[in-house]
Amino acid sequence: MTAAALTATGIELSFGGLSVLRGLDLEFRPGEITGLIGPNGAGKTSLFNCLTGAYRPQRGAIALGGRPLNGLPPAARAEHGVLRSFQTVALCPDLTVVENVMMGVARNHHAGWLNAFLPLPRGRRERSAMRVAAEAALDEFGLKDVADRYPAQLPPGNQRLVEIARAIAGRPSVLLLDEPAAGLNNSETRDLTKTLQRLASPDLVMVVVEHDMDLVMTVSDRIYVLNFGQFVACGTPREVRDNPDVVRIYLGSDDDD
């Protein structure tokens, strides 16, 4: 598969009278990790929802490698490799950790999820191949040992990592991570930082929404800063950190006005 950029132009989203995204233009490039930061309520998750098809923006175009994604529902976008993790964890509680990740693997198996559970030799082979792939994805996050537990038995931060493992297991072309470090302690966050750097590849568009500035400044090649549904800055971590508008947003300073 050739690497493709995810682009969006003129994205406008509103709910009733509330304007949430106000004409966003962006390009997320393969081979880069792009950070997406901004205060609470800036519109970061809403933008992810537009990119995955969970929300339909009133205006604007979204394309992957020039191919329009507008109008496609989330499942069809996932078929194109647009995969995500959620700010509010969304794992299936009745499946074990490894079975949840196997749902991600199933995306790449012709026989699919259902076949893997049929009591036929082919189904058994399929299931064991999926399990091996799912365990490898869990191993990236140091979670292989909890493969046979249920999500609720894991701390919230680790449940989020299982979601990322599920997305990775689906071999994404676009990976959208919504606050992957939420609920992790400092050492877990450092591990996640290294894992994200390791997962970066020339074929993958990776976008990380995160409030943990150390993580986002370390992993990102470029950062977009969103405030009230508009980009106020885009650049390297250093450019963004030194941008007076960004400093103002984060520190609430109005010294320069």
DSSP string covering 153-167: GS-HHHHHHHHHHHH
Q: How many residues contact ligand ATP, by CB under 6 A?
A: 12
Tokens of 6: 């995810």
Q: Does the footprint of Mg ion cover residue 173 (CB under 5 A)?
A: no
- Tokens encoding 248: 């103002």
Q: Which residue's CB is nearer to ligand ATP, number 173 or number 189?
A: 189
- Other Cβ atoms within 10 Å of 68 Cβ, number: 10
The span of 13-21, 72-80, 150-158, 184-192 binding ligand ATP (CB under 6 A) equals 13-21
Structure tokens that stand for 225 in this block: 């800063």
Could you list the beta-strand ranges (E) of the chain. 6-15, 18-28, 33-37, 59-64, 67-68, 82-85, 174-178, 205-209, 222-227, 230-235
Inter-residue contact 211 to 179 (CB < 8 Å) = yes
Of 6, 8, 24, 45, the residue at the interface with Mg ion (CB under 5 A) is 45
How far apart CA 118 and CA 91 sit, in angstroms, is: 23
Asked if 150 contacts 138 with a C-beta cutoff of 8 angstroms, the reply is: no
Q: Shortest distance, CB of residue 45 to Mg ion, whole angstroms?
A: 3
Q: Residue 51: what residue type?
A: L
Question: Among Mg ion, ligand ATP, none, what binds residue 181 when CB lies within 5 to 8 Å by partner kind?
Answer: none
Q: Is 15 in the site for ligand ATP (CB under 6 A)?
A: yes
User: Total number of residues binding Mg ion (CB under 5 A)?
Assistant: 3
Please say which residue, 141 or 224, places its beta carbon nearer to ligand ATP. Answer: 224
Q: Is 20 in the site for ligand ATP (CB under 6 A)?
A: yes
Looking at the Cβ atoms of 137 and 209, the one nearer to ligand ATP is 209
160 binds ligand ATP (CB under 6 A): no
Q: Is residue 223 at the binding interface for ligand ATP, with CB under 6 A as the rule?
A: no
Footprint of ligand ATP on residues 51-110 (CB under 6 A)? 87
Residues 6+ apart with CB under 8 A from 229: 13, 19, 20, 21, 22, 24, 42, 43, 46
Report the site for Mg ion in 48-87 (rule: CB under 5 A). Answer: 87
The pairs formed by 123-129 with CB atoms below 8 angstroms and a separation of 24 or more are: 127/102
Q: Which does 251 bind (CB under 5 to 8 A by kind): ligand ATP, Mg ion, none?
A: none
Question: What three-state secondary structure class fits 15?
Answer: strand
Closer residue to Mg ion, CB minimum distance, 30 or 227? 227
Per-residue binding letters, 35-54, with ligand ATP (x by CB under 6 A): ---x-xxxxxxx--------
Site residues (vs ligand ATP, CB under 6 A): 15, 18, 20, 38, 40-46, 87
